[in-house]
């Protein structure tokens, strides 16, 4: 945090302000006197460019005009919260490094190359990356890891996720996070055991594999479940998001935390102190 900021305000830039998560974050910032909006971006050509960010949520005024320039948006912020698209990630990260602004990144669907970019950026600024910022989801991720460790390959694992019809990536980032946690608990390489598509599969289920199923329908915010089935018992772990506010509150909790951290690439495990035993 900027040492000249002596009033304990957390100064935030929202990258992707016109999206679902961006609007939810704006509403929470408007309702919280300890948070101050310093900048907001949207994609080039969006009709909201040049308008006060408050117009996105029916708020009187933030005194901050929406821009398509991330560098301008983050210039006076302590931390930027990024819920955009993978294509925007390199430019957003570069802007934050240039302005020495910490980052919270909740963008899903990042490629290995884009994730390597975050790892390099973590040498210069503090970044929290999370496929899902919900506190509850990160708790069940730890439960999935513990279950994977305790329940071996004799148990079949299936991860199911359900989202609204407009969600693009499948399986969801959260579903992959849960599957990776099970694999880590078992001490196996996720890519070696993940079964993302069974449409071309032949023969019985492969022992030790982790299966995935994705459903897209209606306006469902997000349901995730893990079924770990043995011959004598079934363990089920699940989470249902009732409102996007759950994700936004987690992102803001991460924002308050990250401004006091040294450069590095962190996860919500670090934010929530879910230490691995």
Distance CA 130, CA 266 (A): 9
Could you give the angle at which helices 245-258 and 135-150 cross, rounded to 10 degrees? Answer: 90
Catalytic residue status for 167: yes
Sign of CA dihedral 220, 257, 113, 275: negative
Distance CA 222, CA 204 (A): 30
Query: How many other CB atoms sit within 10 Å of the CB of residue 172?
Result: 24
Contacts of residues 86-89 at CB distance under 8 Å and 24 or more positions apart, as own/partner, are 86/110, 86/111, 86/114, 88/15, 88/16, 88/43, 89/114, 89/117, 89/118
Environment class of residue 121 by beta-carbon count within 10 Å: exposed (0-12), middle (13-18) or buried (19+)? buried
Cα Rg for the chain, rounded, in angstroms?
20
| Beta carbons within 8 Å of 13's beta carbon, 6+ residues apart | 37, 38, 39, 40, 41, 73, 74, 77, 79, 80, 81, 101
Q: What angle do CA 221, 19, 7 make, to 5 degrees?
A: 105
Q: Which of 163, 164, 224, 239 is catalytic?
A: 163
Active-site annotation, residues: 163, 167
């Amino acid at each position: 945090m900027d040492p000249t900021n002596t009033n304990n305000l957390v100064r935030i830039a929202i990258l992707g302000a016109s999206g679902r998560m961006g609007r939810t974050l704006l509403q929470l910032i408007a309702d919280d006197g300890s948070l101050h909006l310093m900048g907001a971006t949207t994609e080039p050509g969006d009709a909201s460019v040049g308008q006060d960010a408050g117009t996105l949520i029916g708020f009187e005024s933030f005194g901050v005009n929406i821009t398509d320039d991330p560098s301008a948006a983050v210039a006076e912020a302590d931390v930027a919260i990024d819920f955009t698209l993978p294509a925007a990630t390199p430019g957003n990260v570069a802007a934050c490094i240039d302005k020495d602004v910490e980052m919270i990144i909740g963008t899903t669907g990042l490629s290995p190359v884009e994730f390597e970019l975050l790892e390099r950026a973590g040498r210069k600024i503090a970044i929290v990356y999370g496929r899902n910022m919900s506190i509850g989801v990160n708790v069940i991720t730890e439960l999935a890891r513990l279950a994977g460790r305790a329940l071996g390959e004799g148990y079949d694992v299936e991860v199911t996720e359900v989202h609204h019809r407009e969600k693009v990536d499948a399986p969801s980032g959260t579903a992959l996070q849960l599957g990776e946690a099970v694999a880590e608990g078992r001490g196996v390489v996720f890519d070696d055991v993940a079964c993302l598509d069974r449409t071309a599969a032949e023969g019985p289920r492969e022992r030790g594999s982790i299966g995935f199923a994705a459903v897209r329908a209606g306006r469902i915010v997000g349901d995730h479940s893990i079924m770990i089935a043995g011959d004598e018992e079934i363990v089920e772990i699940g989470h249902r998001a009732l409102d996007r506010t759950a994700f936004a509150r987690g992102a803001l909790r991460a924002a308050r935390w990250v401004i006091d951290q040294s450069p590095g690439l962190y996860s919500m495990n670090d934010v929530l102190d879910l230490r691995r035993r």
